[in-house]
Structure 1
């Protein structure tokens, strides 16, 4: 039988213990003491929160004041173009940032390629020997001359030595260098 269907009768009466008024007063005092302790704990926690916020705000204000002080007076900059020192410092800073993002193998290769000695040598070679017009004209002339020499040698039955390609490239390269030289003489621009 469920508790809802039970009927109240003499056989089902439950006797409740009689609680005295003193017991109620005692339990009420205990509850009040517990509530006071909870309230004092909540007050302490709230006080700690307020102190933490005040500390954070004061620290934030202090750092904001420092930022405004440092932002108000930028370092004095001289007039005119960028100096070589500034240019080199900026270049080194950007190279460090970019190399930090590269995988280790590419970073090592980048550091080697961008070493001052390697860069200087590359600039010298690129400015003299390996000029784009010289290399392009060398390749084109080598193709055309080697094709012509090969067809002539095949027709007359001669054997090629292998130097034909190198020689034709050198001839084309000289033509390209002369073209660049005369272009600079006429226009005055590189």
Structure 2
């Protein structure tokens, strides 16, 4: 009879330890696979080359980005998110240039743009008749907000990869946003 109690106690201890191991193991596995990488404003321009040349998976979407940050560029801001799980990935670079350079870029990109908007964000733009998703102002002073109305958002391309009946569920878009009055250009690419 004593062996029977000892066997039951050993079984309870083993089951308890096994349960604890399963719960603990699943906690650590969940932590390992759900670690999120939040976007962050990176002011260290040394990261630009790494993101542009190694981390962004679709080089065609960022061909319009400068190959490197120009030495004379001012107020450079970078926002990059690799997009974990169901989150979208984005890459944005905000640069201040001379008014003459900005006017030249505005003329160049207006000719190439497939869609044009004044201010707003991706939700606004996608809801216009024949609108397409764009981006949020990740490199703005309040990251993730809409572009103010003095920014001209020029969409160079947008591809719907959603399912029939669920337009724009997945896709990508890229382009520039230009503010002539502050002489700024924001290069952007986004995938969701």
Whether the TM-score (by the shorter chain) exceeds 0.5 is no
Q: Which has the higher helix share?
A: 1
* Greater Cα radius of gyration, structure 1 or 2: 1
* Structure-1-length-normalised TM-score: 0.23
Q: Which has the higher strand share?
A: 2
Larger relative contact order (CA 8 Å, sep ≥ 6): 2
